[in-house]
Amino acid sequence: MFVDHSKEAPGGDVSAVAVLDEPTRRRLYEHVVRQAAPVGRDEAAQALGLARQTAAFHLDRLADQGLLEVVYERRSGRSGPGAGRPAKLYRRSNREVSVSLPERRYELAGRLLAQAVEESDATGEPVRTVLHRKAAELGEQLGAQGISLTDLLESHGFEPRGEGDAILLRNCPFHVLARDHTETVCSMNLHLLRGVLKALGESRLEACLAPAPGQCCVRLQPSA
């Protein structure tokens, strides 16, 4: 099973990047990620010549946005009664942050393509056949998340816009890949969106290839 974890929440990555726009906060982040071990508030404040309260405030803001991870350790090395309270320390989190405007989802495409190659290599089934199946399966998983079609399309960067009974997708989340590998990527996208419609029970719409300048190669139009 593959579940897309590339975005935790709409706008979440933008907020995280915006937090780093503050110079002191950015210096603290850079200091923490350069260290081999988690960093405490006193240590960070001393290293950057800041008041402890200022360092604590900015470190917590970075942790709130998921850019840093909070851990608690006893720096004395002792444990048990009399060892004191564990210190609050900060280290780089495992979260990956990226922002692109318009929104792109190259990681999602890369994972699908890698899965297709690996399964094809293991089974002998044609790569393109596996890719279409994997894309449709992912679409069904996304469609089963309990949100509306419009919200799902928005959250994955398609920028849907109603046009009569059809839905135009004004942005392609795989733009550069689709431009350079049109047949492969557009057919992957087509099966992805067919899977979404199937999971949502949207029998009134069908996904079809309808390439046009400045928009996604797939269009959602009334079923024939």
pTM of this prediction exceeds 0.85: no
| pLDDT tens, position by position, 39-71 | 999 999 999 999 999 999 999 999 998 899 999
What's the confidence (pLDDT) of residue 7? 40
What is the 8-class DSSP label of residue 217?
S
Task: List strand residue ranges (DSSP E) for 122-210, in order.
Answer: 160-163, 166-169, 205-209
How far is 49 from 61, CA to CA, in rounded Å?
Answer: 19
How far is 208 from 186, CA to CA, in rounded Å?
Answer: 10
What's the confidence (pLDDT) of residue 74? 77
What's the confidence (pLDDT) of residue 10? 42
Question: What is the architecture of the domain spanning 12-92?
Answer: Orthogonal Bundle (1.10)
- Here the tokens at position 177 are 């890949």
Nearest to 159 by CA among 141, 172, 142: 172
Question: What are the boundaries of each domain within the chain?
Answer: 12-92, 106-222
Query: How buried is residue 17: exposed, middle or buried, by Cβ count under 10 Å (0-12/13-18/19+)?
Result: middle
> 188 with 109: CB under 8 angstroms?
yes
Q: Which segments in the chain show pLDDT lower than 70?
A: 1-12, 14, 75-84, 98-102
How far is 155 from 82, CA to CA, in rounded Å?
Answer: 51
